[in-house]
Structure 1
Amino acid sequence: MIRVGLTGGIGSGKTTVARLLRALGFPVYEADTEAKQLINKDRDIREQIIHLLGKEAYNEQGYNRKYVGSLVFNNEELLQKLNEIVHPAVANHFEQWCTEKDEFNVVFQEAAVLFENGNYSRFDKTILVVAPEITRIGRVMQRDDMNKQEVVARINNQWQDDEKMKLADFVITCDGQHLVIPQVMNILKQL
């Protein structure tokens, strides 16, 4: 089984590429979605996050993403500690998921911070999705009802695309001007 990491900065279009891969019949593990479920359902993770960030990290609806974001996205040390709680749990969950997909020759994991946390080394190949920062800001502001300053803070907590390109095996440009399907099909031929 070939394991492919699919990443890109916030608003880059990696979810669009993941949807396309899924439509083509490939299994795609969405690390951010799975992390949110683990954060809400796993008692041990919940207790560790409360210990780190306080009871306000959870409310009646579950994980208080906005509150946590307001703390960690301007505090590198807190963000790292939060990631040290969540990332190992997601990695273990992905391994379990892969065993359930053993009939597939290729599986993908969509993850926002694949290079930043060093997890790229666990994959056979990596795909980086890129888009101009102005495009990314507009997408995220519209999608997540955030202001420009909040989006820029999140972008600044991720590596710049040129840093990621040095480590990526493949790059897909998702800027509204380059066709995504031919780029994806070309990569699939090479896997």
Structure 2
Amino acid sequence: MKTVVLTGGIGSGKTTVAKMFAELGVPIYIADDEAKKLMVYSKVIKLKLIKLFGEKAYINNTLNRPFLAESIFNNKELLEQMNAIVHPEVKNHFENWKSRQEAPYVIKEAAIIFENGSYKNYDHIITVHAPETVKIERVLQRDSTTVDRIKAIMKNQWSDSEKIKRSNYVIENLDLDRTRKQVLQIHTNLLEIK
């Protein structure tokens, strides 16, 4: 079974594209969603995050997301330390999930595969991209955030041009009909590869 990773910067539309692949019957693993769940339910992650951030990391046994977001905002070192705690657990969780799938290939949707070097672990890489102005507008509509916060996240991610250089497939996600056609073309191609 092939492992395909679907990546792209914040606001590129990875989740929209992932849903299109899911409609074609492809098993999809959304790493960000699973990481959020594991940060709540994994005792290993919980203990390590409390050690890193202090007791404020959790309030009434619930992850204190605003506190963590504020702590890592513009603090690349702390962000990297948090990722070093969460990402190995997500990787193990993904491998366990993948072992239960029956399909020619699975897709893992993950944002920072290039930044952490994990892009080498996949058979194929699909990068979703859109112009920066479009990405910012999408995130502003989706989240209660600011342009400065979005740009701070973008600053910690590789540029689309750098990601595209290392990708097997690229989806320009501006027009949904065109995006759907690109997804179908890539899906057909992946099914043909032995």
What is the Cα-based RMSD across aligned positions, in Å?
1.3
1:66 and 1:175 map into 2 onto residues whose CA distance is: 31
Partner of 1:58: 58
Residue in 2 that maps onto 1:155: 154
Contact 1:73 1:157 in 2 (8 A): no
Q: Does the C-alpha gap of structure 1 residues 143 and 61 become closer, same or farther in structure 2, counting only changes over 3 Å?
A: farther
Q: Which amino acid aligns with 1:170?
A: Y
Whether 2:10 is the aligned partner of 1:10: answer yes
Q: Which residue number in structure 2 is paired with residue 181 of structure 1?
A: 180
SS at 2:166's partner residue? coil
For 1:23, the equivalent position in structure 2 comes to 23
How many pairs does the alignment contain?
Answer: 190
Name the SS for the 1:179 alignment partner: helix
What's 1:136 paired with? 135
Superposition TM-score, scaled by structure 1 size: 0.95
Superposed, which structure 2 residues align to 1:70-89 within 5 Å?
Answer: 70-89=70-89
Asked if 2 retains the 8 angstrom alpha-carbon contact of 1:129 and 1:173, the reply is yes
Shift of 1:171: 0.5
Q: Deviations over 1:133-179 (max 9, x none)?
A: 11111111111111111111111111111111111111101123771
TM-score, normalisation: structure 2:
0.94
> In structure 2, how many angstroms separate the alpha carbons of the residues matched to 1:28 and 1:15?
10
DSSP-derived class of the 1:109 partner: strand
Contact kept, 8 Å, 1:39 with 1:63, in 2: the verdict is yes
Q: Partners of 1:136 and 1:61 in 2: how far apart? A: 34
Q: Deviations over 1:58-96 (max 9, x none)?
A: 224722222212111311111111010000000000100
Between 5-14 and 67-76, the greater mean CA deviation after superposition? 67-76
- Other structure's SS at 2:128 match: strand
Structure 2: where are the runs of 5+ without partners? Answer: none
Runs ≥4 residues deviating over 4 A: none
Corresponding residue number in structure 2 for 1:190: 189
- Distance, in Å, in 2 between the alignment partners of 1:188 and 1:4 is 11
Q: 1:152 to 1:184 in 2, by over 3 A?
A: same
**Counterpart amino acid of residue 162 in structure 2:** E
Q: How does 1:26-41 map to 2 (within 5 A)?
A: 26-41=26-41
Secondary structure of the residue aligned to 1:15 is: helix
Cα pair distance change 1:38/1:85, threshold 3 Å? same
